[in-house]
Amino acid sequence: PSLSAILNAFDFESVARRTMKPEGWAYYSSGADDELTLQENHAAFHRIWLRPRVLVNVRTVDTSTTMLGTRSSLPLYISATALGKLGHREGEVVLTRAAGTRQIVQMMPTLASCSLDEMVAARATGQTQWFQLYVNSDRKITERLVRHAESKGVKGLFITVDAPQLGRREKDMRTKFVDDAPDVQRDGKESINRNEGAARAISSFIDPGLCWDDIEWFKSITKMPIVLKGIQRGEDAVLAAKAGVAGIVVSNHGGRQLDTARSGIEILEEVMTYLKEAGLTDRLEVYVDGGFRRGTDIFKALALGAKGVGLGRPFLYAMSTYGQPGVERLIDLLRDELEMVMRLMGTPSIKDISKDMAVVKNLSSH
Ligand code: FNR
């Protein structure tokens, strides 16, 4: 279909399912094991209902905000997803360019198909980029990556903490990774086992020994704000705040790691409650990802206290099907949806969005 016939994030997914190469579709779409968490990520939004205010002047609605100290036209960002060239021959720079024209933030992955320098070179003036880090068992390599990112003007370091071992994504494993185009960073790892699927084949360098004690070291090697990506319970959010990081991303890695882990939006509610009880809400910014597809999804996360929302697969599907114009249209559609929801909710700006606007009593899965 023509791009103008694409009306929402789900439409990109259905075109991608029909048109992508099987390896790319399998790698992007898969979740761990029985994919229960993958489904739950979006399904959980169906358990939250909204309480609109009326008779508020919403002639103009402003979706802009700040995240880690930089402006963004929307309270959402492109989350890090590996192996962009499985979906588009140019890879992640396509996302960089679209993020640039639309003034949103891109989180660049350690396991990108393009080099960090290529993604930096594709950046527009004033455009913000963050870097997602997989921590190598060889900390020298990690230190080099971090310092290099900082020297290239990257504005945030997102350390992935939910992947001491890669989850089993069986759809991906069944396609048997063929390593041609993707040119990923392979420092310090052994030869690739082609029978384990793309994910496991490229990630054997990740250090399962990473722990809380390492946070001080990260703070000593960089001035970038440090954000822990993959927090999944209130207690860990409190530990993160006490460790002095700038932020956390509440995330289950798009349902690709621990199956039957709870949805991002459900964990967010718990995390905000714990931080509030500990008096730590102002100490760090809380982000969330997993299953965000609609303006209402984004609004609900903001109501629960998130500073911003990450999306992974929707951007991959838009890139893989229509390239840069597809990614730009996805951002435009999400902006239109969020603006409409804000208008209908009686919230002319992001700061007007509050917790009483979302009914969460049925959110909890237990
Ligand atoms: C990811 N994600 C991810 N996260 C990360 O920290 N490092 C990585 O290399 C990757 N790679 C990756 C590849 C693919 C194909 C997907 C779909 C996801 C997780 C990603 O950053 C984010 O947490 C989820 O994608 C959010 O869920 P949705 O929006 O895909 O439902």
Contact 106 CB / ligand 1 (< 6 Å): no
Residue whose CB lies within 8 A of the most ligand 1 atoms, among 35, 79, 133, for a mutation test: 79
Contact 289 CB / ligand 1 (< 6 Å): yes
**Residues that are catalytic:** 134, 162, 253
What pLDDT sits at residue 182?
Answer: 47
What pLDDT sits at residue 134?
Answer: 96
What pLDDT sits at residue 196?
Answer: 62
Instruction: Output the DSSP codes for 135-175.
Output: PBSSHHHHHHHHHHHHHTT---EEEE-S-SS----HHHHHT
Residue nearest to atom 25 of ligand 1 (CA): 312
Determine the Cα–Cα distance for residues 191 and 148; give it in Å rounded to an integer. 25
What pLDDT sits at residue 310?
Answer: 98
Determine contact, residues 223/198, Cβ cutoff 8 Å: no
Decide: pTM greater than 0.90.
yes
CA of 253 to the centre of ligand 1 (A): 5
285: exposed, middle or buried (Cβ count in 10 Å: 0-12, 13-18, 19+): buried
**For residue 275, what is the enclosing H or E element?**
helix 264-277
What pLDDT sits at residue 197?
Answer: 67
Give the residue ranges of the chain where pLDDT is below 50: 180-192
Closest by alpha carbon to 298, among 72, 126, 3, 55?
A: 72
